[in-house]
Amino acid sequence: MRTTLSIVGVSVLALLVLAIAACSDTGTRTQSPDPTDPATYAEGQAYTVRGVIVQLPDAGPPPKDLKIHHEHIPDFVGKSGEIHINPKDGVPGMKAMVMAFPNLAPSVSLDGLAVDDKVEFEFLVRWEENAAGQRSATWLVNRLTRLPAETEISFENKPSP
């Protein structure tokens, strides 16, 4: 009788281990895309914008992002997949704002740049949907060029024509 119970116990334990292994989908789990790889953004949008550097990254802790006060982006596509319209005033796109960019492409160098430098940059956007159906954006600065100090930058938000 004891032997039978031991065999049943071992069998149940073995089945439990197999069930747990089958439920863990580590073999089919997909790796998160690299947020610093421009190829990750192939199906997203790209915007070339001008702005002023507000903050350069810092080693931290905690690490700081590159922050740029950028001009109005009237053709910015929001999470709906359409050009975003600001609900308060009807201004299309992304208003001029200070924006944090945690991800820089490996080809982007910040050497020689300083706070208050005027820049032109390209940033890429990828929208992802979570399990609850909510969409959020990941940004990547893909190109960054310093502009002459006399370059005029306008932070005016232009309403729809």
pLDDT mean across residues, the chain: 84
Residue linked to tokens 């910015």: 76
pLDDT tens per residue across span 24-49: 444 444 567 888 899 989 889 999 99
Domain limits for position 44: 31-146
Q: How does residue 15 score in pLDDT terms, banded at 50, 70 and 90?
A: very low
Q: How does residue 128 score in pLDDT terms, banded at 50, 70 and 90?
A: confident
Residue linked to tokens 């991800």: 103
Q: How does residue 159 score in pLDDT terms, banded at 50, 70 and 90?
A: confident
- Tell me if 100 is assigned to some domain: yes
pLDDT of residue 35: 87
- Tell me if 72 is assigned to some domain: yes
Structure tokens at 145: 């060029």
pLDDT of residue 16: 46
Number of domains in the chain: 1
Q: How does residue 73 score in pLDDT terms, banded at 50, 70 and 90?
A: very high
3-state SS, residue 38: helix
Give the β-pairing of 66-70 and 97-101.
antiparallel
pLDDT of residue 104: 94
Lowest mean pLDDT segment, chosen from 59-68, 70-79, 87-96: 59-68
Structure tokens at 112: 């020689």
- Tell me if 49 is assigned to some domain: yes
How far is residue 41's CA from residue 60's CA, in Å, rounded to a whole number? 27
- Tell me if 98 is assigned to some domain: yes
Q: For the domain that residue 80 is a member of, what is the CATH number?
A: 2.40.50
Long-range contacts at 11-20 (CB < 8 A, ≥ 24 apart): none
- Tell me if 87 is assigned to some domain: yes
- Tell me if 69 is assigned to some domain: yes
**Which DSSP helix (H) or strand (E) runs through 12?**
helix 2-23
Closest among 112, 118, 100 to 155, alpha carbons compared: 118
